[in-house]
Structure 1
Amino acid sequence: MSKYLTGDTNFTAKVKILLSKIYGRSPLKDSVLERAISYFELEALSQRKLDKLNNEITRLVSVGSDKSKNKLTNLKREQRDYLQVLRQQSNERAQQLQLVCRDIIELCEGETRADTNKKSAELLGTIQLLSPTEGSKVASVNERSKPLYRGVLTLRLLDQICLKTLSSGAYLTQELAKISEYDYQDLRNENETAYLEFVDHVKIPMLMAAILQDIGNYHPDAQMIMQGSDGKKSVFRALNVEERKALLQINYRETMKYLVNGIGVVMYLGNSKEERNTFNKVETNKLRFVKQLLKGSIQPKLGVGNILKIPQIYTAIVLSTKDNYNYKLLPKVYQALYQNAERGNCCRGVVDSLYKITGDFPQGFGVIYIPKDSDQNVRYEYAIVTQLYPEKPNEPICRIATRQLAFIGHGHDLVVKKTNNLYFVETAKEFSSINKERLNEILELLSSNYLERKKLDLLPRCWQPEEFFTQKINQKLWNRMNYS
């Protein structure tokens, strides 16, 4: 592969920063995840301090002597001040989480539906291309990337889904009624004020729910299960049935507790009583909606929880943290989703909606295809899935990465037909008549080194483009759209 200047495009850099803000680890301990972990670590200590103050106040009230009045006043002041400190900390966490959600929307939504789909495809594809597909870091990097990935899918599923077909609950029904006179898909242009309110009341809570969905797994009780009693087991290991059941219960319980007590509603800043009442009502309703989404995602049936649950399942497979992670199997993700629908774990109609958005091949997936101009099938080329809403789910819209067996940084867009895609057995069989010498010759041209070639199948069904994407010039996969 040609050696171009390393570094990142502006968009790739923004994605990396966003990933760090959500589930990153740093000495500052200021990501959404690290703030939650700090809360969990101090939760018991804070509760003990409050219990101690309450007990002492209760005791002094029962004594009722003049001598205890001053001490009682001081204790009540200390209790009030401490509660105010805890409330301020919750407010900081709530504000940071909502700011992160707004950053996500800014990065994945545009002026039109076409812009939004393009930006979302770029964000999802960039996450995939930044994730290793083999080696020791796969699980940890995928774990860090999951909340952002499923959050973007949740937003696009919201756009796609016929919400009327869901038992969506009073809150969402009410918010949708406010914009019913406008074209939902063009709401931003028709009425920007209504669009911004819908973002604030619906999309922000949905992103909050997607980000916080597994935050309870970082509670000490959950970590004890995941790491084992000795603390030395891999958190990504396969759990037995009892461990998994216990973990699911802890995650749900602690996520809800963190949402209510560790996040809560954003505090109003201002002097207007009327504005404060309106503000508090809006924020309280948003928090209730997040709770409804999280609760509904456990057993979604036909409810709005599907908008959270189905992207969660999709993301757990595409960005798997399991030991048996196999990049080649990612296009099989809908087999698992439809199996879940058949078991009644989620709504088939919503799975259909997500399928329409993504198709079989995830964004950023490396496709190998036989070009139309390949006389007698003498070569194959590389491409990368770069757009949502393929016309046919098994025919992805890609950006070509090689031309005449040479890597290029400015390819054109291409719909890879099933009959040209080596991922499919029928196509691979047709191509397998090429002699081994020619196949080795192609591998030599498309592989960066001999050791890599040794690991590859002689007739590969897909390719892993993360090394290709490390070059800045190759990160401009979405800069324009022109079909071939």
Structure 2
Amino acid sequence: MSKHLTGDTNFTAKVKVLLSKIYGRSTLKDSVLERAITYYELEQSSHQKLEKLNQDIVRLAKINDDRSKAKLDNLECEQRDSLQELRLESNSRAQHLQLICRDIIELCEGETSAETNKKSAELLGTIQLISPTEGSKVAFANERNKPLYRGVLVLRLLDQICLKTLSSGAYLAKELSKISDYNYKELRTENEAAYLEFVDHVKIPMLMAAILQDIGNYHPDAQKIMHGVDGKKSMFRALTVEERKTLLQINYRETIKYLINGIGVVIYVGNSKEERDTFNKVETNKLRFVKQLLKSSIQPKLGVGNLLKIPQIYTAIVLSTKDNYNYKLLPKVYQALYQNAERGNCCRSVVDSLYQITGDFPQGFGVIYIPNDNDQDARYEYAIVTQLYPDVPNEPICRIATRQLTFIGHGHDLVVKKTNNLYFVETAREFSSINKERLNEILELLSSNYLERKELDLLPRCWQPEEFFTKKVNQKLWNRIR
């Protein structure tokens, strides 16, 4: 097979690497997730070792002889070394996490707000398009991909909220006041230094919170609930109400503990006391902000926790790990979000803000539409959602994937009107008058094999572009049209 058909584009490859760095599993055990699991596995033994050292030091301190003093010196030295080792390990995890957050920002933010929205749409769409939508690997892939997807939504929702009013808490309010003299949308071009400081003080902590939000689920106590005492149950199974409640408590408790003890404040490197004091103050405040985000996301009400909670709910549905995952239902995601708002679980106005960003159809979703020239040749065509901020929430901005029932890798952009979108019952009903022979003929052209055609509805409401996206030439959906 020719090289242009196989492999990945540079951007798709970067996304896959980033996903592996965050929640991947490998022999290196070097992802954010694996570092947390290692910490949880060694946490108890490290604590027991330090506790024993403390007890021995207290005991020997009461004995006033030369031999005991020598032993005491050795134990105190061992204690310092152990604490220093733990501190260095935490620092390594903190630096690793913050570096990944910067990689995310580089991948999804540009010089202008328009470029940022385009890059974010590409990142979200790529995650959706490389995530399986059928088969046994759906839950595992979605579990791996959720933190990055959620993080990008958090950033874009932050941008939207920064242009509105939100009960943001003292820390975010203070940081926003620093850039109040500038046009937020053009901050990067108006004042690069102010933008970089806002990234460091606000966006990095928000990404940290989004990535770590469910890390406590990998604590041994949580895993016993998810996998059962015998360890043989599926971690994606439906839990009882009591199991779910206990798991939520463990996840929150252990996530916060990991944030404070397993990540902590990055160690200052340098010789200036003044710089060190400023650095430590900034990093301590950032860590407190992450903690505030995680804590307030449990019951966000009207506050800053909504910036974490609402993307969490959205992502949990679009990249669901449940057995009843149904790709066709993804555009119904806001039904669940507004129900949560009605129950007081999140703020309706912030849901409105995310709705304005994404619309009904998630990035990368496969849309089937009736072209405007359909009177001449009854048919439907395939397209993929590729842009954020649709003018009308239920009329997605797409890149066409087929022309005259032939797959192409260089289509143009198209706003799919509701009256042309087969996802909607009224449109499908109007088109259903087409005879079955013609519908079978279309299916034969657009599906890869007979077995696939047997599984498809005669008049499908959407399509799953996963296979289409495996070809390198088809991964350039966001390239500028020349």
Instruction: Please tell me the residue identity of whatever aligns with 2:271.
Output: N
Corresponding residue number in structure 2 for 1:349: 349
Matches of 1:413 and 1:164 in 2, distance apart? Answer: 30
What is the alpha-carbon distance in structure 2 between the residues aligned to residue 468 and residue 62 of structure 1?
Answer: 74
Quote how far apart the aligned CAs of 1:4 are: 6.1
Task: Compute the displacement of 1:165 (Å).
Answer: 2.4
Contact 1:301 1:344 in 2 (8 A): yes
Q: How does 1:457-472 map to 2 (within 5 A)?
A: 457-472=457-472
Query: What's the counterpart of residue 426 of structure 2?
Result: 426
Q: Which runs of 5+ in 2 are unaligned?
A: none
User: Which residue does the alignment assign to 1:233?
Assistant: 233
SS in 2 for 1:279: helix
Q: Which residue identity lines up with residue 298 of structure 2 in the other structure? A: I
**Structure 1: where are the runs of 5+ without partners?**
none
Residue 382 of structure 1 aligns with an amino acid whose one-letter code is Y
* Aligned partners of 1:301 and 1:346 also within 8 Å: yes
What does residue 449 of structure 1 align with?
449
Shift in Å at residue 304 of structure 1? 0.2
Matched with 2:271 is: 271
Partner of 2:182: 182
What's the counterpart of residue 78 of structure 2? 78
* Aligned residues of 1:151 and 1:210 also touching (Cα < 8 A): yes
Alpha-carbon separation, structure 2, partners of 1:336 and 1:378: 36
Q: 1:67: how far off? A: 2.5
1:20-419 → structure 2 map (5 Å cutoff): 20-162=20-162, 165-375=165-375, 378-419=378-419
Whole-angstrom distance in 1 between the partners of 2:450 and 2:115:
41
Alignment partners' CA distance in 2, 1:403 and 1:4 = 20
Distance in 1, matches of 2:25 and 2:136, equals 18
Q: Deviations over 1:218-253 (max 9, x none)?
A: 000000000001100000000000000000000000
Shift of residue 66, structure 1, vs aligned partner:
2.9
Amino acid at match of 1:143: E
Q: For residue 258 of structure 1, report the CA deviation from its aligned partner.
A: 0.2
In 2: Cα distance, 1:311 partner to 1:481 partner: 31
Q: Counterpart of 1:367 in 2: which secondary structure?
A: strand
Contact 2:163 / 2:184 at 8 angstroms: preserved in 1?
no
Q: Is the 8 A contact 1:377 1:431 kept in 2?
A: no
How many residues are aligned here? 481
CA contact (8 A) 1:370 1:377 kept: no
Root mean square deviation, CA, Å? 1.1
Q: Hey, what's the Cα distance between the residues in 1 that align with 2:315 and 2:79?
A: 44
Q: Distance in 2 between matches of 1:371 and 1:4?
A: 29
Aligned-pair distance for 1:375?
Answer: 1.3
Q: Structure 1: how far apart are the matches of 2:377 and 2:38?
A: 58
Question: How many Å separate the matches in 2 of 1:65 and 1:415?
Answer: 85
Percent of aligned positions that are identical: 85
Moved more, 302-311 or 162-171: 162-171
- SS in structure 1 opposite 2:297? helix
Instruction: State whether residues 182 and 190 of structure 2, in contact with CA within 8 Å, keep that contact through their aligned partners in structure 1.
Output: yes
Counterpart in 2 of 1:8? 8
Q: What do residues 322-357 of structure 1 show as CA deviations (whole Å, max 9, x unaligned)?
A: 000000000000000000000000000000000000
Looking at structure 2, the residues matched to 42 and 195 of structure 1 have their Cα atoms a distance apart, in angstroms, of: 39
1:393-418 Cα offsets, whole Å, 9 max, x none, are: 00000000000000001000000000
Measure how far apart 1:95 and its partner are: 0.1
The answer as to whether partners of 1:187 and 1:194 remain within 8 angstroms in 2 is: yes
Question: How far is the alpha carbon of 1:469 from its aligned partner?
Answer: 0.1
**CA 1:159–1:60 in 2, change beyond 3 Å: closer, same or farther?**
same
Task: Give the Å deviation of 1:65.
Answer: 2.6
Aligned counterparts of 1:64 and 1:431: Cα–Cα separation in 2: 94
The 3-state SS of whatever aligns with 2:80 is helix
Q: Distance in 1 between matches of 2:164 and 2:479?
A: 35
Separation of aligned partners in 1, 2:426 and 2:379: 17
Residues 112, 188 of structure 2: 8 Å contact kept = yes
Q: Distance in 2 between matches of 1:82 and 1:149?
A: 37
Tell me the CA shift for residue 63 of structure 1. 2.0
- How many angstroms apart in 2 are the aligned matches of 1:162 and 1:338? 21
How far 1:64 moved relative to its partner? 2.7
